[in-house]
Structure 1
Amino acid sequence: MTAQDMALAQRLADAAGEVIRPLFRGNWQAEEKEDFSAVTEADRAAEAAMRAILEVERPHHGIIGEEYGITREGASHSWVLDPIDGTQSFVAGRPIFGTLIALVQDGFPIIGVIDQPILGERWVGVIGQGTTFNGKPVSTRRCRSLEGASVATTSPHAFAESEVDAYLRVVAKAYPKRPYPVYGGDCYNYGLLASGHLDVVIESGLKLHDYAALVPVVEGAGGMMSDWQGNPLDADSDGTVLALGEPARLEDVLEAMSGADASHSHDH
C-alpha cells in the first residue's frame, strides 16, 4: 500500500462525485432491484467512472463493486466500491449518503474513503495512520459509560426480527429516560463517529462494500469496529457491524446486546 494508492482512492472519489452531483435532487429514473432498493443512474454511472480509472491505473487489482460485481476474483488487492451508500437518502434529496471506496488486502481493509460529494466532506482512513476529514486530523470522542452515549443506526426496519431486541437493549441502556437514537445516515454516521459527534453505530445485513471503507476511517480516528460478537471485520464477516468511538465500551455494548444484564431492567 502506497501513497499512490491513497491518492488514487481520492481520485476515484472525485470522479464519482462529478457524476453524482448533477443528478442529486434531479429528474433521474430509479428502478427496482430484486431487493427493492432503488438503483439510480447515478449509482451505475459513478461506479463505471471509478472502474474506468482502476482498469488503467491498477489493471492487476481486483474490483468488487455494488453495481457491476467482481472483476479479477482472487486478486490479493481489491478495490471495493459502493458508489452511493444510502440510496434512500439520495432519492429523498438528503445529503447524508456517501461514496465508499476501500482497498482490501487479503480480505482486510487497508484504505477507506467516505465521501459526501454534495457537502464536500471527505474522510480518509489508512491502516496505521490517523484519519483525516478534509485533510485535517480527526479523532473519536471519549465515552465514559454507555448511559448518555449517542447511538445511531440507519433504520430499525433493517434489523431481522431476532436482532431488534439486541439493538433496543443498547438503546435502553444509552437513553434511560427517553429514547432518542439517531436514525438515517448510512455511511455518514461512521464519519460522524470518527469526527467525535456520535458514540455508537449498530447495524446488520451489511455487505463488504457497505463496511470495508468504514473500518480504516473509524479505527484511524481512535475508534473500533467489529461484528456483534466483537470480532474484527474482514471479507468473510457476517454483516453485523458495531462501531464504537470509545473501544473501552465494547464489553458494555456486547453485554447489553446479549441481555446478560437485562434480566431485572424491564417487566414482562
Structure 2
Amino acid sequence: MLTGNDTLISHVDRLADLAGSAAMGYFRNLLEIELKDDESPVTQADRGVELQVRAYLDRHFPDDGILGEEFGQSDISRDHVWSIDPIDGTRSFLSGHPLFGFLLGRLNNGVPQIGVIGMPALGEKVIGERGGDATLNGSKIRVSSQTSLDQAILFVNEGEKVLARHPEVFSRLMTVGQTRRFGYDCYPHALVAMGHVDAVVDEDLQPYDYLPLVPIIEAAGGVITDWTGRALTLDSGTSGVVTAATAELHADLLNVVGS
C-alpha cells in the first residue's frame, strides 16, 4: 500500500526496472520453450518475470487484484487490479530480437488508470497516467498532430492474423497511409505516444496486452479503442485495437476496419 513519499508512479517505475532487469537476465540465453494451448510459446523467463512482479505487488499492494498472462487472475473483482504481461513478444525475445516489452497497468473499477511499457533491451520506459502526463524515461512525450490518413505513418500489427481473419480489412489497410509498416507487440503503440508513428491497427490482443496501453496513449494526447470505437476496459473482451494520434485519424481508421 502507498506510504510516505511512495506514489503509484514511483512504484510502477520500480516495477518496470525490476521486470526489465529480470528479463535481461534471460535474454539471448538458452531457454526451455513450452507451447500453450493456443500454440504460443512460453519460457521460464515469462514466468520468472511475472513471479517477481507479483511478489512486489503482494508486498506493497496486498488489497489489489492481479490479472497476469502466465498465472491467471486473482481477486479481479476488487476496486484496484493490476494487469501484467511479463514479456510482451515472447517470439521476439526467443529470437534475440530486442523489441520485446514489459506491460503493466493498474485499473480502478475496471478502467485503466496507469500504464507502463518497458523496453528493457532498448533502455526505454514509457509511463502514462490517466489525467496526467505520458513520459519516456522521465521526459514528457506527445503524439503527433497528423490528421490526414493519406499522410500518416501507419503500423499494422499481427498482419498475417489480420489477413487470415479479416481479408477485406487487410486489403483496405494496404491502400491507406503514406508509409505502412508491419509490426508486432507493444512497441509500435509506444512510438505513437512518442510522436514517431501516427497510428497502429492491432489484432489478437488479450486484456493484459491492451489495458496498459490506454493510459499511455490518452495521456500523450492520442486515442485508443477497439475496432468498433468502444473504450477499452477490463470487461472489453476484444482482440482488435486501433491507436491513433488524433481523433481524425482514429475516425478514418475505424471506417477502414469496420465491416
TM range (shorter): over 0.9
- Contact 2:47–2:70 under 8 Å retained in 1: yes
Q: Which residue of 2 aligns with 1:145?
A: 148
Residue 257 of structure 1: CA displacement?
A: 2.6
Residue 160 of structure 1: CA displacement?
A: 6.7
| Structure-2 separation of matches of 1:212 and 1:250 | 18
Residue 181 of structure 1: CA displacement?
A: 2.2
Read off the aligned partner of 2:210 and give its amino acid letter.
Y
SS class of match (1:112)? strand
Q: Which residue of 2 aligns with 1:101?
A: 104
Read off the aligned partner of 1:256 and give its amino acid letter.
V
| Cα-to-partner distance string for 1:148-180 (whole Å, 9 max, x where unaligned) | 2111133212227442322431331224xxxx5
Whether 1:206 aligns to 2:209 is no
| Cα-to-partner distance string for 1:209-245 (whole Å, 9 max, x where unaligned) | 0001101111111111011111111112222100001
| Structure-1 separation of matches of 2:126 and 2:171 | 29
Q: Which residue of 2 aligns with 1:223?
A: 222
| Structure-2 separation of matches of 1:161 and 1:62 | 35
Residue 7 of structure 1: CA displacement?
A: 1.3
Q: Which residue of 2 aligns with 1:249?
A: 249
Q: Which residue of 1 aligns with 2:181?
A: 182
Read off the aligned partner of 1:141 and give its amino acid letter.
S
| Structure-1 separation of matches of 2:144 and 2:38 | 36
TM-score scaled by length of structure 1: 0.90
Decide which of 152, 166, 173 is 1:163's aligned counterpart.
166
Read off the aligned partner of 1:248 and give its amino acid letter.
E
SS class of match (2:176)? helix
| Structure-1 separation of matches of 2:156 and 2:117 | 17
- Contact 1:156–1:164 under 8 Å retained in 2: no
Distance 1:140 1:162, change over 3 A: same
Alignment coverage as a number of residue pairs: 255
Distance 1:235 1:203, change over 3 A: same
Q: Which residue of 1 aligns with 2:133?
A: 130
Read off the aligned partner of 2:157 and give its amino acid letter.
T
Using the TM superposition, name which of 227-236 and 41-50 deviates more. 227-236
Identity of aligned residues (%): 36
| Structure-2 separation of matches of 1:60 and 1:146 | 44
Read off the aligned partner of 1:210 and give its amino acid letter.
D
Read off the aligned partner of 1:252 and give its amino acid letter.
D
